[in-house]
Structure 1
Amino acid sequence: MVMIPRSTIRLVSVFVLGYSIIVSWFLFQSTNKYYIFDNSNHETHSVRNLTSWRAWEGEILPLRLQCNPTFSRLSTSTEDLFLTSAFGIHYLAQVWVIVIINSDLPVQSDFECVFYKQDQNDLLSWNYITNFSIIGLTLSKLYVFPEIVKLPARFTAAIFSCPLRHGLVPDAVSLVPAGFLKLPVHNALPVISPSQIERNFAVCVSPLHSLHSKAHQIVEMVETSLVLGADHFFFYNLSIHWNVDAVLNHYASKGLVTVIQWPLPAMLREDATNRTSEETNIHYHGQLAMLNDCLNRNKGASRYVVFQDLDELVVPKKHQSWTMLMASLPSNASAYMLRSSYFPLDWPSVKSGINKTANKIAKTYNANAFLKVFREERIFGRAVRSKYIVDPLRVEIVGIHNVWKFKRGGAPYYVPPEVALVHHYRAGKSETELKRVKDKSVFKFIDALPQIHRTWQQLGDIPLGPLV
């Protein structure tokens, strides 16, 4: 019987164990691929192993990566993420990916951002990235917006911040679970990075929904805001009627309006009990994500951004325009918070104080701002139904009625209601016991009425709405 020394047995065991580990590692690497799906021919292409991604950084890949600007879905076993939009935040050297996330489930995975650069020889098309190079990969950090609403929502808005290395300026970004282990990458988001001031005042309007058909509201708000000092408007289209679509197209053809399609996925529109209210799944049609999308679209492009709803107007009380108003306020503020008051639509219309021609125009085109001059005596307090005007370069996160996060050193300024007030032309039954106050300050901007008339003449037979 041959005796094998224990030292030899140990050596052989270590060798066998090491060999098994090496073989297992190679088998794992052979299946651990990063995949990109090409929607043009339905083939899946292996790009490279994650462990060697730096070896192919900058390589031009003749593939087509679908580029979806809103609500691309990224699903894992524990949560649903809907990618809304991506923005280059230059002063932070980051890309921010705005998402809608399931707030009922904690995010279990780390996520990485893959950055792409378009081949300069290709025409830039955001339907697909045709020839692109991968120029970076970084680990992201999740920031969930701290908005508080009356009805807890299953989904909420958040940001994945992706640090940029080596001064990268990407054209597009994908968000993927860290490691690229199993999930194919089907799409990417274009990275929006405005860098040149194009306008003084941009207006961001909350999502249009429920087959919105009050075209007269669009025309009244746009024309009155233009007289106030607005330069451009951003409308988010979830669901509109054909007459509103025609009005928005009319303004878009003049370069005054940008329409962002806002196709909320079905699971964000219906709750578990099949009730019609969308607020049980997400607050007011994804408003929080929309507000921050609009904020970031205007970083570097607009001097100021005005946030309001379609049935609201920011009315200066002592000045003839928003420009004059802002010149009178402290220049070191980052956000100018504006208090609000209701102008109930079921209260009487004005009978005097406006000339007959203007009064006829207002009645013909349902221009409620010039008909309903009685407001509630109550003016809401700070951060209660407030709206705001911000310097977009000095604000990082906005909420529905407040600003959540400023650039370092930023601060709000609370505008006294006797200087400027948000007029909220509210439909529905008013509280009859509230005292009425006559407020005709909007008459300073009566030049909007002939412009409203002129616009409707150009629109021809488009119905004012609402449509049944």
Structure 2
Amino acid sequence: FMEVIPWSKLSKLLNVSPGWQPEYSPGDLHYYGQIPALNDCVYRYMYQSKYLALHDMDELILPQSVDSWRELLPLLEQKHGADFGYMFENAVFPNTIKLPPPTSHTTQDPQSSCCTGWQGVSGVNILAHLYHEPFNQKEFSNFKIIVNPRAVFAPTVHGLLNSQKGCVRVDSNVAIMYHTRPPVQTKLTTDQLVYDDRLLSYSARLTLAVNTVLKEIGLIPEDNTE
């Protein structure tokens, strides 16, 4: 189930800043109200949800060794302890890059085998972007978290401002965050990108779910089965 909490009416009452730097994007409410929205989410669901994942719509935290969050979170509790914020490294998958798999991989090219009915639908097909920018070994930036909301007093966009135990960094071999967006490291050549087909492990379930919704709202025909 998805519950959407609309914040659109705030712009009628406040000057909402479109950027994160006040000197360039001044306003009454910082950066589209992300921090108030995160605080609202934490306190709204504090006693309804065991965990909260605080990330953007174009970000997806994926376990690497198990199949689901239900399996991942007990592993993190066992290794790091409970009531921490679990920080996941940000892997940027440029939505401008569509390349076939490397010749060393036997994975079928998802662009030729999946989702042909989505061509006329707006948005980004994350299954078609399987190359990410290399991690910066000196920095761990733009991470997002999964947290027990009852251990949080004040979240921020990247982490926690005030909580019972703070945050711990999750090893990238355990789980990372897939962020499909415009490139950040704009001077990289394609041979410097890293191929990662982990998303394809979920492609069958994802495609079925997306097709169901697209058919219900009339964006693809009912008889489309791909």
**Scaled by the length of structure 2, what TM-score is found?**
0.77
* Amino acid aligned to 1:304: Y
Aligned counterpart, 2:215: 457
Please say if residues 333 and 413 of structure 1, whose CA atoms lie closer than 8 Å, have aligned partners that are also in contact.
no
Distance verdict in 2 for CA 1:359–1:424, change over 3 Å: same
User: Would the alpha carbon gap of residues 263 and 461 (structure 1) be closer, same or farther in structure 2, given more than 3 Å must change?
Assistant: same
One-letter amino acid of the counterpart of residue 207, structure 2? L
Alignment of 1:352-371 (within 5 A): 353-354=108-109, 357-361=113-117, 363=119, 365=121, 366-371=123-128
In structure 2, the partner of 1:387 is 144
Pairing partner for 1:296 from 33, 40, 43? 43
Does the 8 A contact of 2:93 with 2:183 survive in 1? no
Could you say which residue in structure 1 is the equivalent of 2:104? Answer: none
Q: What are structure 1's unaligned runs of at least 5 residues?
A: 1-231, 233-255, 272-276, 463-468
* Offset at residue 443 of structure 1 (A): 1.1
Q: Residues 399-443 of structure 1: CA distance to partner in whole angstroms, max 9, x if unpaired?
A: 110111113xx2322111121111111126751326200011111
1:305 aligns with 2:52: yes
Q: Please, which of 83, 87, 93 is the counterpart of residue 343 of structure 1?
A: 93
Deviation at 1:316, TM superposition (A): 1.2
Q: 1:279 matched to which residue of 2?
A: 25
Report the structure number with the largest CA radius of gyration. Answer: 1
Deviation at 1:395, TM superposition (A): 1.1
Q: CA deviation at 1:319?
A: 1.2
CA distance in 2, matches of 1:449, 1:269: 36
Return the alpha-carbon distance in structure 1 between the equivalents of residues 197 and 118 of structure 2: 14
Does the CA-based 8 Å contact 2:16-2:33 persist in structure 1? no
Q: For the aligned residues, what is the CA RMSD? A: 2.7
TM-superposed deviation, 1:341: 1.6
Matched residues in 2 for 1:379 and 1:317: separation?
19
Same amino acid, percent of matched pairs: 21
Q: Offset at 1:267?
A: 4.2
Higher relative contact order (CA 8 A, sep 6+): 2
Q: Deviations over 1:5-43 (max 9, x none)?
A: xxxxxxxxxxxxxxxxxxxxxxxxxxxxxxxxxxxxxxx
Map of 2:66 onto structure 1: 319
Q: Which of the pair is proportionally richer in strand?
A: 1
Asked whether the equivalents of residues 338 and 386 of structure 1 are also in contact (C-alpha less than 8 Å), the reply is yes
Distance 1:458 1:337, change over 3 A: same
How far off is 1:360 after superposition?
2.5
Q: Secondary structure at the match of 2:5?
A: strand
Contact 1:270–1:278 under 8 Å retained in 2 = no
**Contact 1:341/1:379, CA 8 A, preserved across alignment:** no
- Contact 2:152/2:163 (<8 A) preserved: yes
Q: Which residue of 2 aligns with 1:259?
A: 5
Post-superposition shift, 1:353?
2.5
- State the distance in 2 between where 1:278 and 1:454 align: 42
Deviation of 1:318 after TM superposition, in Å, equals: 1.1
- AA partner of residue 213 (structure 2): T
Distance 1:287 1:448 in 2: 27
Q: Is the alpha carbon distance of 1:405 and 1:387 closer, same or farther for their aligned partners in structure 2, counting shifts above 3 Å?
A: same
Q: What's the CA shift for 1:304?
A: 0.5
Determine the C-alpha separation between the residues in 2 that align with 1:398 and 1:304.
14
Q: Take 2:219 and 2:197, find their aligned partners in 1: how far apart are those partners?
A: 32
TM-score, reference length from structure 1: 0.39
How many residue pairs match? The answer is 200
- Per-residue deviation, residues 200-226 of structure 1 (Å, max 9, x unmatched): xxxxxxxxxxxxxxxxxxxxxxxxxxx
